[in-house]
Amino acid sequence: MTIFRPWTLLLAAISVALVVSVPQSRADLPPGGGDGGLSAIYGAREVFSSNNAQFLPWIDAMDRAQRELVQTRVCAGEGDTDCTPRQWRALIDELAGLSLRAKLERVNAVMNLQPYMPTQRNWGVPVYWETPFEFLAKGGQCQDYAIAKYLALRAAGVPDANLRVLVVHDTDRNFNHAVLVVTVDGESYLLDSLNRDILPASQVTHYRPYFSINQSGWWYYIGGHAMFADNGY
């Protein structure tokens, strides 16, 4: 079962966005892939803000990952630190020669092999978003799968504008979840830890979006998400 509680992050971010940011039109969004029709798919109005300041777990994970990703020495063995995991280095090298579609397939397959592990068990705290190196070493929750896929594809040259971590409510399973959305030629595809196949977002109709985020900003979906509720997961 996926355990995820996005509402505290979202409510804090919305409050800041309403105070310091003016919702931007589609023409004001960062250049690149756009949302690939997510608003239409999920029946929501999309509002963009470039202010990620209140998404502290995201900001912290991106800062820690940036420090990790500059490592050039490959880890010699288990327990080695301040080095690049062999699995990560091999994946990034492999992706260099693949088409975009093949990159998505490979990243999804590799990361989905990692074990699911609750944040509380890994880190002793209820909220912690992992870097890819932490995820490869310890496993993680749905947002950690999505972050690892996001940064692997960034390392493989996929533009930030084409990638978002999307937080949703799964109406079939009645829990909150996070996936990676990749926009390819104007269409959005989901890289999901719960599905070995990469599917167009238009085929995954049981997801209701809360928000999506990348390093350019975040997007709030008005009218498309379930009410916030802690169902005890």
Tell me the longest C-alpha to C-alpha distance in the chain.
50
pLDDT at 149: 98
> Cα(35)–Cα(182) distance, rounded to whole angstroms?
9
Residues 33-62 have a mean pLDDT of 83
* Boundaries of domain holding 34: 7-222
pLDDT at 223: 78
Q: Residue 209 pairs with which residues in a beta bridge?
A: 168
pLDDT at 189: 96
- Please indicate, yes or no, if residue 228 is contained in any of the structural domains: no
Buried b or exposed e, range 181-220, using 16+ CB within 10 angstroms:
bbbbeeebbbbbbeeeebeebbebeebbbbbbbbbbbbbb
pLDDT at 8: 52
Asked whether residue 178 carries a pLDDT value surpassing 60, the answer given is: yes
Asked whether residue 32 carries a pLDDT value surpassing 90, the answer given is: no
Asked whether residue 197 carries a pLDDT value surpassing 50, the answer given is: yes
Task: Give the rounded percent of residues in the chain with a pLDDT score beyond 70.
Answer: 80
Residue type, 170: D
- Please indicate, yes or no, if residue 1 is contained in any of the structural domains: no
- Please indicate, yes or no, if residue 54 is contained in any of the structural domains: yes
- Please indicate, yes or no, if residue 188 is contained in any of the structural domains: yes
Residue 173: φ, ψ to 5°: -95, -10
* Cβ–Cβ < 8 Å for 89, 72: no
* Cβ–Cβ < 8 Å for 177, 194: yes
Residue type, 222: I
- Please indicate, yes or no, if residue 200 is contained in any of the structural domains: yes
| Closest of 151, 143, 150 to residue 210, by C-alpha | 143
Residues 81-107 have a mean pLDDT of 95
CA–CA distances in Å: residue 60 to residues 53, 81, 100, 128, 151:
10, 19, 28, 9, 14
- Please indicate, yes or no, if residue 49 is contained in any of the structural domains: yes
pLDDT at 229: 40
Q: Which residue has the tokens 């990620």?
A: 52
**What DSSP character marks residue 156?**
T
Asked whether residue 89 carries a pLDDT value surpassing 70, the answer given is: yes
- Please indicate, yes or no, if residue 145 is contained in any of the structural domains: yes
Domains: count for the chain = 1
> Cα(56)–Cα(53) distance, rounded to whole angstroms?
7
pLDDT band, very low/low/confident/very high, at 155 (cuts 50, 70, 90): very high
Q: Which residue has the higher pLDDT, 14 or 192?
A: 192
CATH at residue 109: 3.10.620.30
- Please indicate, yes or no, if residue 115 is contained in any of the structural domains: yes
- What does pLDDT average to over the chain? 84
